[in-house]
C-alpha cells in the first residue's frame, strides 16, 4: 500500500512538473496568480505600513529623548554661564574696591555679605570676616566706589554683623567737601538718609557732596556718604536738614570693604 502511494505521489509530481514545462497548466497558473496577487499585495502593503509606523514611532521616541537631553544640557550650560557672569561681576567689584583702597591708601579687609535681613531688620547684614581678620565694633563699611554704607555692630571670630547707614540707630558726623563740619547723618524710617543739625547760616544746596567728618573714633575723614537731594528748612527751627542719596544700591550690596582704622 505504501509503495502504491509513493508511486502515485511521484506520478503526480511528474505530471505537474511536466504540465508546467509543457505549458499545459498555464491558464490555471495565471488564474491562481491573479487570485493570490491581491492578498499578497495587501499583505505586503500592510507589513510595509506597519514597519513604517513602528519606525516613525521609534524615531519620535528617539527625537524626544534627544530633545530632553539637549534641554538638560542647555539648563546646565545656562547655570554655568550665570555662575561665570556672577563670578566675573564679583571680581570686577573686588578689583574696583582694591584699586580705590590703594589710591586712598586705606587699610581694609574685603568681605562678602553672607546673610541679610537678620532679625527681620533689612538694614542688618552678616559678613564672612571677623575678629581673626582684625575687625572690631564701630569700624566703617564701604561699598562700591568707596561709598560709606554702614558700620560694624557685633563681631565674632569668623564673622561680623553690620548695620547699614540707613538704619535709624546709626549716626555719622558729616562735612562738606572742604572739610567744614555740617551735622550728623542718620538713617530715616523710610530707609533714606537724613543730614540733621545743620546750622541755618550754613549754605547747603541740592547736589552738594557730603563726606565723613572724622570727628569720631574709627571713622576716617573724607569718605563719601552721598549728595544732597532736598533741603528742609523751617523758620521756627534752629537747625535745617536735608535728604541724601547715595550713588550705590546699598540694599543689594554683596561685597564690602571694612576700613581698619
* CA 129 – CA 2 distance, rounded (Å): 108
DSSP assignment string, 93-125: HHHHHHHHHHHHT--EEEEEEEEESGGG-TTEE
* DSSP 8-state secondary structure symbol assigned to residue 238: S
Strands 181-187, 193-199: pairing is antiparallel
All domains of the chain, ordered by start, with CATH?
Answer: 2-55 (no CATH), 106-261 (2.40.10.340)
> Considering just the CA atoms, what is the radius of gyration of the chain in Å?
44
End-to-end Cα spacing for the chain: 126
Please write the tens of the pLDDT for every residue from 125-164.
999 999 999 999 999 999 888 889 999 999 999 999 999 9
Residue 206 backbone dihedrals phi, psi, to 5 degrees: -60, 135
In angstroms, the CA 232 to CA 204 distance is 10
pLDDT of residue 205: 92
- What's the burial of 21, exposed, middle or buried (CB within 10 Å: 0-12/13-18/19+)? exposed
pLDDT at 179: 78
pLDDT beneath 50: ranges in the chain: 81, 83-86, 88
Element (H, E) at 9: helix 2-22
CB atoms under 10 Å from CB of 169, counted, come to: 11
pLDDT of residue 86: 46
User: Is residue 261 within 8 Å of residue 139, measured between CB atoms?
Assistant: yes
Residues whose CB falls within 8 Å of the CB of residue 241, separated by 6 or more in sequence, listed in order: 183, 194, 195, 196, 197, 198, 231, 232
Report pLDDT for 249: 77
CA atoms 158, 163, 169, 175: torsion sign: positive
Length reported for the chain:
261
pTM of the predicted protein model: 0.64
Q: What confidence tens digit (pLDDT) does each residue in 164-180 have?
A: 998 999 999 999 988 78
| DSSP 8-class letter at 144 | G
Query: What pLDDT does residue 132 have?
Result: 94
Confidence (pLDDT) at 253: 80
Distance CA 74, CA 210 (A): 48
What is the per-residue pLDDT for 188?
A: 85
Amino acid at each position: 500500500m505504501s509503495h502504491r502511494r509513493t508511486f502515485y505521489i511521484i506520478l503526480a509530481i511528474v505530471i505537474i512538473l511536466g504540465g508546467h514545462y509543457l505549458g499545459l497548466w498555464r491558464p490555471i497558473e495565471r488564474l491562481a496568480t491573479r487570485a493570490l496577487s491581491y492578498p499578497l499585495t495587501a499583505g505586503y502593503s500592510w507589513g510595509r505600513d506597519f514597519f513604517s509606523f513602528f519606525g516613525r514611532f521609534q524615531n519620535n521616541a528617539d527625537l524626544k529623548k534627544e530633545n530632553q537631553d539637549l534641554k538638560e544640557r542647555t539648563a546646565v550650560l545656562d547655570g554655568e554661564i550665570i555662575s561665570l557672569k556672577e563670578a566675573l561681576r564679583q571680581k570686577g567689584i573686588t578689583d574696583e574696591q582694591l584699586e580705590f583702597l590703594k589710591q586712598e591708601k586705606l587699610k581694609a579687609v574685603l568681605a562678602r555679605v553672607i546673610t541679610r535681613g537678620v532679625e527681620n531688620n533689612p538694614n542688618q547684614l552678616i559678613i564672612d570676616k571677623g575678629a581673626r581678620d582684625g575687625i572690631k565694633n564701630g569700624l566703617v563699611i564701604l561699598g562700591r566706589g568707596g561709598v560709606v554704607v554702614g558700620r560694624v555692630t557685633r563681631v565674632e571670630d569668623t564673622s561680623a554683623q553690620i548695620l547699614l547707614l540707613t538704619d535709624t540707630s546709626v549716626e555719622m558726623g558729616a562735612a562738606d567737601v572742604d572739610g567744614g563740619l555740617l551735622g550728623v547723618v542718620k538713617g530715616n524710617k523710610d530707609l533714606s538718609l537724613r543730614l540733621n543739625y545743620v546750622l541755618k547760616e550754613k549754605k547747603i544746596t541740592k547736589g552738594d557732596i557730603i563726606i565723613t567728618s572724622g570727628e569720631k573714633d574709627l571713622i576716617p575723614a573724607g569718605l563719601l556718604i552721598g549728595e544732597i537731594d532736598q533741603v528742609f528748612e523751617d523758620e521756627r527751627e534752629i537747625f535745617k536738614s536735608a535728604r541724601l542719596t547715595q550713588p550705590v544700591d546699598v540694599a543689594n550690596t554683596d561685597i564690602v570693604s571694612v576700613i581698619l582704622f
